[in-house]
Structure 1
Amino acid sequence: MALLQTLKSLVNQRLSAAAEEILGVVGRILTEYEDEAFHIKQETDRQRRLLDMVLQPIVKLHRADSIHLLVCKEEVFTEQQQEKTSIKEDPEPPQIKEEQEKITSSLIKEEPESVGVQGEVVNMYQSGPESLPKD
Protein backbone atom coordinates (compact mmCIF):
# COMPACT_ATOMS: atom_id res chain seq x y z
CA MET A 1 0.00 0.00 0.00
CA ALA A 2 2.91 2.27 0.44
CA LEU A 3 3.61 1.91 -3.20
CA LEU A 4 0.11 2.98 -4.02
CA GLN A 5 0.41 6.01 -1.74
CA THR A 6 3.69 7.03 -3.38
CA LEU A 7 2.25 6.60 -6.83
CA LYS A 8 -0.80 8.60 -5.84
CA SER A 9 1.28 11.46 -4.43
CA LEU A 10 3.50 11.44 -7.54
CA VAL A 11 0.44 11.70 -9.83
CA ASN A 12 -0.98 14.48 -7.66
CA GLN A 13 2.29 16.42 -7.89
CA ARG A 14 2.41 15.99 -11.65
CA LEU A 15 -1.23 17.01 -12.03
CA SER A 16 -0.72 20.04 -9.80
CA ALA A 17 2.35 21.12 -11.82
CA ALA A 18 0.47 20.64 -15.10
CA ALA A 19 -2.53 22.59 -13.75
CA GLU A 20 -0.27 25.44 -12.62
CA GLU A 21 1.44 25.48 -16.01
CA ILE A 22 -1.91 25.47 -17.79
CA LEU A 23 -3.21 28.28 -15.58
CA GLY A 24 -0.05 30.31 -16.26
CA VAL A 25 -0.40 29.91 -20.02
CA VAL A 26 -4.10 30.75 -19.86
CA GLY A 27 -3.27 33.84 -17.75
CA ARG A 28 -0.69 35.03 -20.30
CA ILE A 29 -3.09 34.42 -23.17
CA LEU A 30 -5.81 36.35 -21.35
CA THR A 31 -3.41 39.24 -20.72
CA GLU A 32 -2.43 39.28 -24.41
CA TYR A 33 -6.08 39.26 -25.46
CA GLU A 34 -6.88 42.07 -23.04
CA ASP A 35 -3.99 44.15 -24.41
CA GLU A 36 -5.08 43.43 -27.98
CA ALA A 37 -8.70 44.32 -27.15
CA PHE A 38 -7.51 47.60 -25.54
CA HIS A 39 -5.48 48.52 -28.65
CA ILE A 40 -8.37 47.58 -30.94
CA LYS A 41 -10.70 49.78 -28.86
CA GLN A 42 -8.24 52.69 -29.11
CA GLU A 43 -7.94 52.23 -32.88
CA THR A 44 -11.73 52.00 -33.24
CA ASP A 45 -12.16 55.22 -31.24
CA ARG A 46 -9.53 56.97 -33.37
CA GLN A 47 -11.22 55.86 -36.60
CA ARG A 48 -14.64 56.90 -35.23
CA ARG A 49 -13.29 60.39 -34.44
CA LEU A 50 -11.82 60.66 -37.94
CA LEU A 51 -15.11 59.58 -39.46
CA ASP A 52 -17.01 62.10 -37.33
CA MET A 53 -14.62 64.85 -38.42
CA VAL A 54 -15.25 63.98 -42.06
CA LEU A 55 -19.02 63.60 -41.78
CA GLN A 56 -19.58 66.48 -39.33
CA PRO A 57 -16.85 69.08 -39.90
CA ILE A 58 -16.44 71.73 -37.25
CA VAL A 59 -15.91 75.22 -38.62
CA LYS A 60 -13.92 77.37 -36.25
CA LEU A 61 -14.06 81.11 -36.78
CA HIS A 62 -11.12 83.09 -35.53
CA ARG A 63 -11.63 86.64 -34.37
CA ALA A 64 -9.25 89.29 -35.58
CA ASP A 65 -6.99 90.84 -33.00
CA SER A 66 -8.45 93.99 -31.49
CA ILE A 67 -5.06 95.71 -31.86
CA HIS A 68 -5.05 94.94 -35.59
CA LEU A 69 -8.57 96.32 -35.92
CA LEU A 70 -7.60 99.49 -34.08
CA VAL A 71 -4.61 99.98 -36.36
CA CYS A 72 -6.79 99.44 -39.44
CA LYS A 73 -9.41 101.89 -38.15
CA GLU A 74 -6.73 104.49 -37.46
CA GLU A 75 -5.31 104.04 -40.97
CA VAL A 76 -8.75 104.46 -42.53
CA PHE A 77 -9.43 107.49 -40.34
CA THR A 78 -6.13 109.15 -41.33
CA GLU A 79 -6.77 108.39 -45.01
CA GLN A 80 -10.22 109.96 -44.76
CA GLN A 81 -8.75 113.03 -43.08
CA GLN A 82 -6.11 113.31 -45.81
CA GLU A 83 -8.80 113.07 -48.48
CA LYS A 84 -10.87 115.76 -46.77
CA THR A 85 -7.88 118.09 -46.46
CA SER A 86 -6.86 117.49 -50.08
CA ILE A 87 -10.41 118.30 -51.19
CA LYS A 88 -10.37 121.48 -49.12
CA GLU A 89 -6.94 122.51 -50.43
CA ASP A 90 -7.62 121.80 -54.12
CA PRO A 91 -11.08 123.02 -55.15
CA GLU A 92 -9.89 123.94 -58.68
CA PRO A 93 -10.67 120.74 -60.63
CA PRO A 94 -14.49 121.14 -60.42
CA GLN A 95 -14.19 124.78 -61.49
CA ILE A 96 -12.02 123.84 -64.45
CA LYS A 97 -14.54 121.23 -65.50
CA GLU A 98 -17.39 123.73 -65.20
CA GLU A 99 -15.43 126.24 -67.29
CA GLN A 100 -14.76 123.60 -69.96
CA GLU A 101 -18.45 122.73 -70.06
CA LYS A 102 -19.37 126.42 -70.42
CA ILE A 103 -16.89 126.85 -73.29
CA THR A 104 -18.07 123.76 -75.15
CA SER A 105 -21.74 124.62 -74.67
CA SER A 106 -21.14 128.19 -75.88
CA LEU A 107 -19.29 126.89 -78.94
CA ILE A 108 -22.12 124.50 -79.73
CA LYS A 109 -24.72 127.27 -79.39
CA GLU A 110 -22.92 129.50 -81.93
CA GLU A 111 -24.09 129.50 -85.49
CA PRO A 112 -22.62 126.79 -87.72
CA GLU A 113 -21.19 129.35 -90.16
CA SER A 114 -19.12 131.12 -87.56
CA VAL A 115 -17.99 127.93 -85.90
CA GLY A 116 -16.17 126.40 -88.85
CA VAL A 117 -13.14 124.35 -87.87
CA GLN A 118 -13.63 125.02 -84.18
CA GLY A 119 -17.02 123.28 -84.25
CA GLU A 120 -15.42 120.21 -85.74
CA VAL A 121 -12.79 120.23 -83.00
CA VAL A 122 -15.49 120.58 -80.35
CA ASN A 123 -17.49 117.74 -81.94
CA MET A 124 -14.38 115.56 -81.99
CA TYR A 125 -13.67 116.46 -78.36
CA GLN A 126 -17.18 115.47 -77.31
CA SER A 127 -17.35 112.22 -79.29
CA GLY A 128 -13.89 111.02 -78.21
CA PRO A 129 -10.72 109.90 -79.94
CA GLU A 130 -12.56 107.39 -82.17
CA SER A 131 -13.89 110.22 -84.32
CA LEU A 132 -10.46 111.64 -85.09
CA PRO A 133 -9.45 111.26 -88.75
CA LYS A 134 -6.84 108.59 -89.43
CA ASP A 135 -3.91 109.47 -91.68
Structure 2
Amino acid sequence: MIAFNYEHGEKMLKYGQEVLLESEATSGTLNEAEYLEELEYNLYMAREKGIDYALKEYGADAVLFPMDGSTIGSKAGYPSVTVPTAFTKEGEPVGITFTGSAFSEPLLIRLAYAYEQATRVRRAPELRINAGEKIHTTS
Protein backbone atom coordinates (compact mmCIF):
# COMPACT_ATOMS: atom_id res chain seq x y z
CA MET A 1 0.00 0.00 0.00
CA ILE A 2 2.88 2.36 0.78
CA ALA A 3 4.42 1.79 -2.66
CA PHE A 4 1.03 2.15 -4.35
CA ASN A 5 0.43 5.44 -2.58
CA TYR A 6 3.81 6.76 -3.73
CA GLU A 7 3.14 5.63 -7.31
CA HIS A 8 -0.20 7.45 -7.30
CA GLY A 9 0.84 10.36 -5.11
CA GLU A 10 -1.39 12.97 -6.74
CA LYS A 11 -4.53 11.12 -5.66
CA MET A 12 -3.38 8.97 -2.75
CA LEU A 13 -1.10 11.20 -0.70
CA LYS A 14 -3.50 14.04 -0.09
CA TYR A 15 -3.06 13.59 3.66
CA GLY A 16 0.25 11.72 3.71
CA GLN A 17 0.80 8.24 4.99
CA GLU A 18 2.60 8.70 8.28
CA VAL A 19 0.50 6.06 10.06
CA LEU A 20 1.38 3.45 7.43
CA LEU A 21 5.07 4.29 7.64
CA GLU A 22 5.04 4.18 11.45
CA SER A 23 3.21 0.85 11.39
CA GLU A 24 5.69 -0.57 8.87
CA ALA A 25 8.54 0.36 11.21
CA THR A 26 7.23 -2.00 13.92
CA SER A 27 7.68 -5.77 14.12
CA GLY A 28 3.99 -6.37 13.49
CA THR A 29 3.81 -8.79 16.41
CA LEU A 30 1.87 -6.36 18.65
CA ASN A 31 4.17 -7.06 21.57
CA GLU A 32 6.31 -3.91 21.59
CA ALA A 33 6.34 -2.24 25.00
CA GLU A 34 5.11 1.08 23.57
CA TYR A 35 2.13 -0.60 21.90
CA LEU A 36 1.20 -2.58 25.02
CA GLU A 37 1.43 0.55 27.21
CA GLU A 38 -0.81 2.50 24.80
CA LEU A 39 -3.28 -0.38 24.65
CA GLU A 40 -3.48 -0.58 28.45
CA TYR A 41 -3.88 3.21 28.72
CA ASN A 42 -6.62 3.29 26.04
CA LEU A 43 -8.51 0.46 27.71
CA TYR A 44 -8.32 2.18 31.10
CA MET A 45 -9.38 5.59 29.79
CA ALA A 46 -12.13 4.24 27.51
CA ARG A 47 -13.55 1.80 30.05
CA GLU A 48 -12.97 2.77 33.70
CA LYS A 49 -12.60 6.52 33.16
CA GLY A 50 -14.86 6.70 30.11
CA ILE A 51 -17.91 4.59 29.32
CA ASP A 52 -18.12 2.64 32.59
CA TYR A 53 -17.72 5.86 34.57
CA ALA A 54 -20.44 7.68 32.62
CA LEU A 55 -22.88 4.78 32.86
CA LYS A 56 -22.38 4.42 36.61
CA GLU A 57 -22.22 8.14 37.40
CA TYR A 58 -25.45 8.96 35.58
CA GLY A 59 -27.30 5.66 36.04
CA ALA A 60 -27.53 5.23 32.29
CA ASP A 61 -27.81 2.09 30.20
CA ALA A 62 -25.94 3.50 27.20
CA VAL A 63 -24.03 6.55 26.04
CA LEU A 64 -25.31 8.51 23.05
CA PHE A 65 -22.79 10.14 20.71
CA PRO A 66 -23.49 12.48 17.81
CA MET A 67 -22.31 11.30 14.40
CA ASP A 68 -20.07 8.24 14.52
CA GLY A 69 -19.00 8.10 18.14
CA SER A 70 -17.80 4.52 17.93
CA THR A 71 -14.12 5.40 18.51
CA ILE A 72 -14.26 5.31 22.31
CA GLY A 73 -16.40 2.17 22.19
CA SER A 74 -13.94 0.42 19.92
CA LYS A 75 -11.02 1.47 22.12
CA ALA A 76 -12.85 -0.04 25.09
CA GLY A 77 -13.76 -3.16 23.13
CA TYR A 78 -17.43 -2.36 23.72
CA PRO A 79 -20.30 -2.61 21.25
CA SER A 80 -21.84 0.35 19.44
CA VAL A 81 -24.67 0.76 16.96
CA THR A 82 -25.16 3.78 14.70
CA VAL A 83 -28.52 4.79 13.23
CA PRO A 84 -29.42 7.65 10.87
CA THR A 85 -30.82 10.79 12.42
CA ALA A 86 -30.79 13.04 9.34
CA PHE A 87 -29.51 13.24 5.77
CA THR A 88 -27.20 15.74 4.05
CA LYS A 89 -28.24 17.65 0.93
CA GLU A 90 -26.42 14.95 -1.04
CA GLY A 91 -28.52 12.24 0.61
CA GLU A 92 -25.75 10.86 2.84
CA PRO A 93 -26.88 9.71 6.28
CA VAL A 94 -25.85 11.52 9.44
CA GLY A 95 -26.12 9.32 12.47
CA ILE A 96 -26.08 8.96 16.20
CA THR A 97 -24.27 6.18 17.99
CA PHE A 98 -25.43 4.22 21.02
CA THR A 99 -22.55 2.65 22.98
CA GLY A 100 -22.85 0.36 25.96
CA SER A 101 -20.68 -1.78 28.19
CA ALA A 102 -19.46 -5.29 27.43
CA PHE A 103 -22.15 -7.69 26.19
CA SER A 104 -24.83 -4.99 25.93
CA GLU A 105 -25.63 -5.76 22.28
CA PRO A 106 -29.27 -6.80 22.96
CA LEU A 107 -29.94 -3.51 24.77
CA LEU A 108 -28.24 -1.45 22.04
CA ILE A 109 -30.27 -3.15 19.34
CA ARG A 110 -33.49 -2.44 21.26
CA LEU A 111 -32.48 1.23 21.71
CA ALA A 112 -31.55 1.64 18.04
CA TYR A 113 -34.78 -0.03 16.92
CA ALA A 114 -36.88 2.10 19.27
CA TYR A 115 -35.17 5.25 17.98
CA GLU A 116 -35.75 4.23 14.36
CA GLN A 117 -39.42 3.47 15.05
CA ALA A 118 -39.98 6.74 16.91
CA THR A 119 -38.27 8.96 14.34
CA ARG A 120 -38.85 7.12 11.05
CA VAL A 121 -35.73 8.82 9.66
CA ARG A 122 -34.17 5.69 8.19
CA ARG A 123 -34.50 5.21 4.44
CA ALA A 124 -33.99 2.01 2.53
CA PRO A 125 -30.65 2.22 0.69
CA GLU A 126 -30.40 2.58 -3.08
CA LEU A 127 -27.98 0.06 -4.48
CA ARG A 128 -26.28 0.82 -7.78
CA ILE A 129 -25.09 -1.70 -10.32
CA ASN A 130 -24.02 -1.52 -13.95
CA ALA A 131 -23.05 2.11 -14.50
CA GLY A 132 -25.48 3.74 -12.13
CA GLU A 133 -28.60 1.58 -12.52
CA LYS A 134 -30.50 1.90 -9.25
CA ILE A 135 -32.06 -0.94 -7.35
CA HIS A 136 -34.53 0.15 -4.69
CA THR A 137 -34.69 -1.98 -1.61
CA THR A 138 -37.45 -2.20 0.92
CA SER A 139 -37.18 -1.28 4.58
TM range (shorter): under 0.3
Higher strand share: 2
TM-score w.r.t. length of structure 1: 0.26
Q: Which has the higher contact order (CA 8 A, sep 6+)?
A: 2
TM-score w.r.t. length of structure 2: 0.25
Larger radius of gyration: 1
